[in-house]
Amino acid sequence: MTIQIDKKEFELLLEYDQIEKNIRLIGIQINVAYEKRLPVFISVLNGSFMFAADLLKEIEIGCEISFVKLASYQGERQSEQIKNLIGLNMSLQDREVIILEDIVESGNTLKQVIELVKKEKPASVAVCTLLLKPAALQHDFDEIAYVGFEIENEFVVGYGLDYNGLGRNLKDIYRLKREIP
């Protein structure tokens, strides 16, 4: 099955059934690992909204969730890029944090998110990502504890992930097949 977004053709990579199944397995692991620890999920928007919604339905232990965005703005000096987590409306001090990501490619974004979360002095930080592109990773992370799927280094859309803002609503995940002439 293929779909078209703008001038690009995408083909089916992961069906929702499979996605649901792997999310259920992650849920079971988190329920066991975090029992009585009252974790805080930090869902990194926009991409992780669907994953967060489905995963949280599998969490049966007490937990909280906060939705954040990684924002960057110019600092005092021209060269300075300051990163900030916007939307964090609670203290993470001494909390068990689980960062929810849609996808980790180079890991640059995740590295910044982890650094910003750690500044809040949490008791622990783990990362749960639906997708991971191992071949594209440029950093070593001890924090990545839960991965839905490892995929090839190729562009994907659907289930929260977008191409130029489009495709986030797709229930399945598709990979880029070709440019339509």
Supply the residues annotated as catalytic: 105
Under DSSP, the state recorded for 15 is: -
Member of 30, 104, 144, 173 binding ligand IMP (CB under 6 A)? 104
Smallest distance, Mg ion to C-beta of residue 60, A: 26
Write out the binding residues for ligand IMP, residues 32-91 only, by CB under 6 A. Answer: 47
The angle at the Cα of 104, spanning 175 to 50, to the nearest 5 degrees, equals 70
26-65 residues near Mg ion, rule: CB under 5 A: 47
How buried is residue 39: exposed, middle or buried, by Cβ count under 10 Å (0-12/13-18/19+)? Answer: buried
| Angle (nearest 5°) at CA 135 between 4 and 72 | 75
107 contact choice in ligand IMP, Mg ion, none (CB below 5 to 8 Å, kind-dependent): ligand IMP
Determine if 107 is a binding residue for Mg ion (CB under 5 A). no
143/94 Cα distance (integer angstroms):
17
CA distance 9 to 7: 7
Residue 109 binding ligand IMP, by CB under 6 A: yes
Residues in 63-102 that interact with Mg ion by CB under 5 A:
102
120-179 residues in contact with ligand IMP (CB under 6 A) are 155-157, 161
Number of residues binding to Mg ion, judged by CB under 5 A:
2
| Rg of the chain on CA atoms, in Å | 17
Residues at the contact surface with ligand IMP, assessed by CB under 6 A = 47, 102-110, 155-157, 161
Residues at the contact surface with Mg ion, assessed by CB under 5 A = 47, 102
